[in-house]
Amino acid sequence: MSKQTVIACLGDSLTWGFPYGTQYSWVNLVSQRTGLKMINLGINGNTTEDMLHRFPFQVLPAKPTHVVLMGGTNDIIMRETFPRITLNLQNLVEVAQKHKIIPILGLPIPLGWKEAEVRLERIRAWMRDLACTQNLKVIDFNRAFFQVNSEGEWIPRWELMLDGSHPAIEGYIAMADQFDPAALGLLPDQE
């Protein structure tokens, strides 16, 4: 008998579902749609360092088979350095792997001011590279907030944002749409 798939989702307010609450989060929406057991471990205001500190106390006791790691937005807002953010993310992946938990990287959604978004895109690019080199799965939540126009250009969908950093309810729905269980190798357990 195989172990039940349990997915811990470690992150900040974008995982928690700010300001609406966990019932409107992408985590809850995915769970409702797919039947997958999802645990929302988002905490408003968390940085990648906070997530790393919480891992032993919140992720490990949940005994997940997988963990979605999505962080970096608050680090950028607080002007944390690129090396520190990427070290924290690397350490999160390593601690998951050490405990035989499969890490999945969640790419943070856009920020509404250019300087911060440029810095955050550098983090996303690093996360994509890490996924390639370590054969990790990625959920591109950022993509939910763009559409391609007739000229093939990516255009922001700011109507999905509540403010410059949090989704509206429609934005959380669009984030849930990016979670493809089959592509991630996550199918609901069969009875």
pLDDT digits (tens, 9 = 90+) for 137-185: 999 999 999 998 888 888 889 999 999 899 999 999 999 999 999 999 8
Instruction: Name the token pair of 111.
Output: 């920020």
Count: domains in the chain: 1
pTM (predicted TM-score): 0.94
Nearest 5 degrees, angle CA 108-CA 184-CA 30? 65
Q: Is residue 185 part of a domain?
A: no
Averaged over 82-86, what is the pLDDT? Answer: 98
Q: Is residue 187 part of a domain?
A: no
Q: What CATH code is carried by the domain that includes residue 103?
A: 3.40.50.1110
Supply the range of the domain harboring residue 120: 6-177
Q: What integer best gives the mean pLDDT of the chain?
A: 94
Averaged over 58-65, what is the pLDDT? Answer: 97
Q: Is residue 182 part of a domain?
A: no
70 within 8 A of 141, measured Cβ to Cβ: yes
Q: Is residue 184 part of a domain?
A: no
* Per-residue confidence (pLDDT) for residue 187, from 0 to 100: 64
Model confidence at 2, pLDDT cuts 50, 70, 90, reads low
Q: Over pLDDT 90: what percentage of the chain? A: 87
DSSP state of 161: B
* Per-residue confidence (pLDDT) for residue 1, from 0 to 100: 34
| Signed CA dihedral, 4, 10, 15, 21: sign only | positive
CA–CA distances in Å: residue 86 to residues 49, 52, 75, 91, 157: 10, 12, 10, 8, 27
